[in-house]
Amino acid sequence: MAVMIRRLLAALFLCLSLAAVAAAQQPPVRVAIVGLEHGHVVGFLHEFPRQHDAQLVGIVDSDHALCARYQREFHLDPSLFYNTIDDLFAHQHPQALLVYTNIAEHRRVIEAAAAHNVDAMVEKPLTISLSDALAIRRVAREHHIQVLVNYETTWYPSNAAIYNLLQQDKLGNIRKVIIRDGHQGPKEIGVQPEFLHWLTDPALDGAGALYDFGCYGADLMTWFMHGETPLSVTAVAHTDKPQIYPRVDDDATIVLQYPRAQAVLLPSWNWTFGVKDTQVYGTKAYAIADNGSHLRERFSESSPEEPVTATPLSAPEDSSLHYLAAVIRGQLVPKGDLTALDTNVIVMQILDAARTSARTGRTIDLKPLQP
Class for domain 2-151, per CATH?
Answer: alpha beta
Enter the DSSP assignment of 79.
G
**Ramachandran area for residue 117 (φ above 0: left; ψ -120 to 50: alpha; else beta):** left
Q: Contact, 139 vs 110, CB < 8 A?
A: yes
Q: What is the pLDDT of residue 5?
A: 46
Q: What is the pLDDT of residue 48?
A: 80
DSSP 113-165: HHHTT-EEEEESSS-SSHHHHHHHHHHHHHHT--EEEE-GGGG-HHHHHHHHH
Q: Contact, 105 vs 127, CB < 8 A?
A: no
Tens-binned pLDDT, residue by residue, of the chain (371 aa): 444 445 554 544 444 444 444 445 789 999 999 999 999 999 999 888 777 889 999 999 999 999 999 999 999 999 999 999 999 999 999 999 999 999 999 999 999 999 999 999 999 999 999 999 999 999 999 999 999 999 999 999 999 999 999 999 999 999 999 999 999 999 999 999 999 999 999 999 999 999 999 999 999 999 999 999 999 999 999 999 999 999 999 999 999 999 999 999 999 999 999 999 999 999 999 999 999 999 999 999 999 999 999 999 999 999 999 999 999 999 999 999 999 999 999 999 999 999 999 999 999 999 999 98
For residue 134, the SS3 value is helix
Half-sphere exposure of 336 (CA within 13 A, CB side): 6
Domain boundaries, the chain: 2-151, 153-314+338-365
CA–CA distance, 94 with 109 (Å, rounded to integer): 14
Q: What is the pLDDT of residue 24?
A: 53
123: amino acid identity, one letter: E
DSSP 249-264: -SEEEEEEE-SS-EEE
For residue 29, the SS3 value is strand
CA–CA distance, 19 with 22 (Å, rounded to integer): 5
Beta bridge partners of 286: 281, 298
CA dihedral sign, ordered 78, 95, 152, 342:
positive
| Kind of pairing between the strands at 232-238 and 286-289 | unpaired
Sheet containing 29-34: order of strands: 81-82, 54-60, 29-34, 96-99, 119-123, 147-150
For residue 105, the SS3 value is helix
* Angle CA 186–323–338, to nearest 5: 60
Q: What is the pLDDT of residue 7?
A: 53
Q: Does domain 153-314+338-365 have CATH number 2.40.128.20?
A: no
